[in-house]
């Protein structure tokens, strides 16, 4: 069995415990995808100076957030790591001229365990974590994904976990948090629609230059670490067969779209 690549928007950490369209999608989509041999996931919450692959056999948990429901800090996702797949990932990056690093002792951040606990709740698929580089551009992350494009043919699922839009200043306003079902502002929908159109058109040049070309790009992504995982997934899966498999919003301003590539 071959696997596509997937971009998911993981939303706020409490996505995992609160009823929403995005939660329902993630909770059902693992069965639609099928069970891969392993997962390689690039999370927006794992930054580093160069691509870093985690080789832990049993990663722990990271609760990298504050101010949310207490029960979130009790969630455990006990999926094993896969050192052999991790070494393979590092080898593919090295062969592509992208000097990787190998590291240990890093748990699963919420960009990893929130979507994976919903997609594969039995935690029986080994997971290999791959970092993003906030100081590098989308083209770099696309190249990282391209280096991993053969993994799908080996039944390994590559996931980029971020958010199609991500402006937390707009979520936490002076009067408190926006309501979860707040209306979607035009500046959010304009950006999401542009991204959707360019993805379906296979317009790689425009996508890689999204900060200059997309409407309201900087307002939707004051920093672009939450969109960079999209380019990893896009590179790994390609633009030949693309499907938006989910479209919804949280707090009005967080577009929680998910895309399947390949």
- Kindly list the domain boundaries of the chain, sorted by start residue: 5-261
- The answer to whether the CB of 145 falls within 8 A of the CB of 234 is yes
| pLDDT attached to residue 67 | 83
| pLDDT attached to residue 175 | 66
- The answer to whether the CB of 128 falls within 8 A of the CB of 53 is yes
| pLDDT attached to residue 174 | 61
**Residue 5 class from Cβ within 10 Å (0-12 exposed, 13-18 middle, 19+ buried)?**
buried
Measuring CA to CA, how many Å separate 60 from each of 29, 46, 138, 248? 25, 14, 29, 30
| pLDDT attached to residue 139 | 98
Structure tokens at 199: 């993805």
pLDDT tens column, 161-200: 999 999 988 888 766 778 888 899 999 999 999 999 999 9
User: Region 69-97: what's the mean pLDDT?
Assistant: 98
How many whole angstroms from its chain centre is CA 242? 16
Where do runs of H (alpha helix) occur along 57-129?
83-95, 110-119
In total, the chain counts a number of residues equal to: 262
Q: Which residues contact 129 (CB under 8 A, 6 or more apart)?
A: 41, 42, 43, 46, 53, 54, 59, 81, 106, 108, 112
Say whether 133 sits in a helix, a strand or coil: coil
Terminal-to-terminal C-alpha distance of the chain:
13
Percentage, residues of the chain above pLDDT 70: 99
pLDDT band at 46 (very low <50, low <70, confident <90, very high): very high
Where do runs of H (alpha helix) occur along the chain?
21-33, 83-95, 110-119, 138-147, 168-171, 186-201, 204-208, 210-213, 217-220, 228-237
Is residue 38 pLDDT above 90, yes or no?
Answer: yes
What are the two backbone dihedrals, phi and then psi, of residue 254, each rounded to the nearest 5 degrees?
-100, 105
Is residue 109 pLDDT above 70, yes or no?
Answer: yes
pTM to 2 decimals?
0.97
User: Region 123-143: what's the mean pLDDT?
Assistant: 98
| pLDDT attached to residue 212 | 98
pLDDT tens column, 200-257: 999 999 999 999 999 999 999 999 999 999 999 999 999 999 999 999 999 999 999 9
What is the topology classification, in CATH, of domain 5-261?
Answer: Protocatechuate 4,5-dioxygenase; Chain B (3.40.830)
Percentage, residues of the chain above pLDDT 90: 92
User: Region 150-162: what's the mean pLDDT?
Assistant: 98
pLDDT band at 1 (very low <50, low <70, confident <90, very high): confident
Is residue 65 pLDDT above 70, yes or no?
Answer: yes
Q: Average model confidence (pLDDT) for the chain? A: 96
């Amino acid at each position: 069995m071959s696997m596509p690549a997937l971009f998911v928007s993981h939303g706020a950490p409490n996505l995992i415990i609160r009823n929403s369209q995005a939660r329902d999608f993630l909770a059902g989509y693992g069965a639609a995808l099928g069970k891969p041999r392993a997962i390689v996931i690039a999370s927006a919450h794992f930054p580093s100076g160069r691509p870093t692959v985690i080789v832990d056999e049993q990663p722990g948990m990271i609760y990298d957030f504050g101010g949310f429901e207490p029960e979130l800090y009790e969630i455990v996702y006990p999926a094993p790591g896969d050192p052999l797949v991790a070494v393979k990932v590092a080898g593919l990056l090295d062969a592509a001229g992208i000097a990787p690093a190998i590291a240990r002792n890093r748990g699963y951040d919420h960009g990893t365990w929130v979507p994976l606990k919903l997609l594969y709740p039995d935690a029986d698929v080994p997971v290999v974590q791959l970092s993003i580089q906030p100081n590098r551009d989308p083209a770099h992350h696309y190249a990282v994904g391209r280096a991993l494009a053969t993994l799908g043919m080996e039944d390994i699922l590559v996931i980029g976990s971020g958010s199609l839009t991500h402006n937390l200043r707009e979520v936490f306003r002076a009067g408190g948090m926006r309501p979860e079902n707040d209306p979607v502002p035009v500046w959010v929908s304009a950006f999401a629609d542009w991204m959707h159109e360019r993805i379906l058109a296979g317009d790689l040049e425009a996508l890689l230059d999204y900060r200059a070309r997309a409407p309201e790009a900087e307002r939707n992504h004051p920093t672009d670490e939450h969109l960079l995982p999209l380019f990893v997934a896009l590179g790994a899966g390609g633009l030949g067969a693309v499907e938006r498999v989910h479209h919804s919003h949280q707090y009005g301003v967080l577009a929680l779209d998910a895309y399947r590539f390949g």
